[in-house]
Amino acid sequence: MRFSNATRSVKPYIVGNLYFTFGTSFVAGASNSVASILRTNASAVESAVDFFHAFGGNLGFGVFINFIPATFNHRFARHRYFWLTGNLMMLGMNALMLGFHFLIQTENPIESRVIPTLVSQLLENILIVREHRNRSVS
């Protein structure tokens, strides 16, 4: 297989994961901001800083490692245990993102990752169901 063919076949997954990374970054920032307001009665400026801290950290690291789920989903989509391996892969990615939020010292790392983790698991399962439908139709 030529490199250009491999790039074309993985491209939809990478583009989809970029949208996914941007969306989960926004949700991480919003949940971090809300957690700051509820826990510490932060001002609007402080909550905006907390939003951009979690958003920027999630987006920067997410774009950097974006190729892992794209490659994984492309490679294992046709396997029998894709539901299990896809969910385990996404849990691992979320654990990695949680660790990164601790590393960059996000104000509320666990609270900022709860909703994005749930959303990412849901989106991974939607992708798995789509792949299963496409496989059963083909």
**How many Cα neighbours within 13 Å face the side chain of 105?**
0
Between CA 20 and CA 64 the distance in angstroms is: 13
**pTM of the full structure:** 0.69
Query: Does the pLDDT at position 122 exceed 70?
Result: yes
Output the average pLDDT for the chain. Answer: 81
User: String of b and e for 40-70 (b: at least 16 CB within 10 Å)?
Assistant: eebeeeebebbbebbbebbbebbeeebeebb
The one-letter code for the residue type at 106 is T
Average the pLDDT over 75-88 and give the result. 87
What percent of the chain lies above the pLDDT cut of 70? 88
**Has residue 4 got a pLDDT over 70?**
no
